[in-house]
Amino acid sequence: MIGRFIGIVISLIGLILPWRLRILFSEFLGWVTQAIYFTYFGIFNFILSELRKAKEMESKEKDEAPR
Amino acid sequence: MKHQDDTCAILFSGGTDSTLAAALQIEEFGKLILLTFDRAGIAKIENSKTNAKMLIDKYGADRVEHIIINFDKVFKHISYENYFKNVMKHGFMNLSTCGLCKLSMHIQAIDYCNTHEIKYVADGANQGMNMFPAQMKPVVDQMKDLYQNFGIIYSNPVFEYESPDEGSFISMENANMLKSLPKQDMEKEMQKKTAGKILYEKGLAPLPNVKGSVYDRKRQPRCFQFILFKMFANKYFLANKTYDEYVGETVDFFADKVKVAEAILTSEKGKKLL
């Protein structure tokens, strides 16, 4: 519902804009989308790499533990 | 080689599909002209030179040539001619920026071919990208008719190829895409008939699936207007209509726009835009 509303508003703005302003508006949308996308995946990849390191530490400790 | 003495123009972005279209057509034609199109709103046009150079190095500078053409005026005219009337008739369809952009490229390509007596044009249109008007079968057929009116054969050598799997927004595959070359299941990728796989087999790509990766993005221009188009198509149109209705309205819209394209190519006033 919210997504559809945002889509309609953005489409309406795009429809009434003249050529160069529409291009600038699209650039703005593009950079906002990229920022969200890369922030999300930056955090996602960071969490994954930390989990991977923790797992490696754990298995290293297990191997070094006295038998 | 079926057309050894003929030249084929390729609508070339530098991405996997247009690069494979070129790699397939060079086996049929004596010479290729890679046409890349530039306008306001398209950034990093120089990215297209990477794969163009790769093709030139592989097949020879006497057989492959790369040209960049500006099409600002044509695109502006196609998008905004009789604008109020078109908005009344077709509504938000006027935001089909990707389709209008591709139609403008076709117009410019026809003009180039007419000037240089080239009778064959190809591009990397693929059926998997069927949200985009210029890659929908009925609209592709409209484009073929447009070319035919000017004595040119327009073909899509990679149209039937499969699209690589697109990971969902939150999938691991998308996380991999942030890296220059994504991790992938080679065995799985090699079983598919994708443009990437064929390019990989020809030694023209490092992996079978590079679509959407940083590697792929660095080889083609960047344009953000597709976001506006996708907002309208996904969030507004397909939210309460079917895909078939979407295709129907797209075909109607482009039927009108193709008439404008013909007028540009045949009238003295239109030719000033080229």
Does a structural domain hold residue B11?
A: yes
pLDDT of residue B35 exceeding 90 = yes
Residue B227 pLDDT exceeds 60: yes
Sign of the CA dihedral running B238, B241, B242, B243: negative
pLDDT reading at B223 higher than 80? yes
pLDDT for B169 = 47
d(CA A42, CA A33): 14
Give yes or no for residue B167 having a pLDDT over 60: no
Number of domains in chain B: 1
Q: Is residue B35 part of a domain?
A: yes
Residue A21: inside a domain, yes or no? yes
A39 and B CB contact within 8 Å = no
CA distance B89 to A50: 55
> In Å, how far is B235's CA from the nearest CA of chain A?
5
Closest CA to B208 of B238, B235, B232, B186: B186
Looking at residue B170, its pLDDT comes to 47
**CA angle at B83 for the pair B133 and B256, rounded to the nearest 5°:** 45
The arithmetic mean of pLDDT across residues B60-81, rounded, is: 96
Q: Please check whether residue B22 is in contact with residue B64, taking contact to mean a CB–CB distance below 8 angstroms.
A: yes
Domain extent at residue B90: 3-266
Question: Any chain B CB within 8 A of the CB of A43?
Answer: no
3-state secondary structure of B13: coil
> What is the pLDDT at residue A67?
60
Say if B273 falls within a structural domain.
no
Task: Examine residue B67 and state whether it is found in any structural domain, yes or no.
Answer: yes
Domains: count for chain A: 1
pLDDT of residue B64: 97
The reply to whether B172 falls in a domain is yes
Average of pLDDT values for B202-222?
Answer: 85
pLDDT (mean) for B226-253: 89
* Structural domain span for residue A39: 2-61
Chain B interface residues facing chain A, Cβ-Cβ under 8 Å? 40-41, 76, 79-80, 87, 92, 94-95, 97, 170, 174-175, 178, 223-225, 227-228, 231-232, 234-236, 239
Residue B272 inside a domain? The answer is no
Q: Is residue A67 part of a domain?
A: no
Rounded to an integer, the average pLDDT of A42-52 is 84
Q: What mean pLDDT value characterizes chain B?
A: 90
Across B117-123, average pLDDT: 97
Which CATH number does the domain housing residue B119 bear? Answer: 3.40.50.620
> Does the residue B274 lie in any domain?
no
CB contact under 8 A, B92 and A31: no
Contacts of B87 in chain A (CB under 8 A): 15
Q: Residue B178's pLDDT band (boundaries 50, 70, 90)?
A: low
Interface predicted TM-score (ipTM) of this complex, two decimals = 0.83
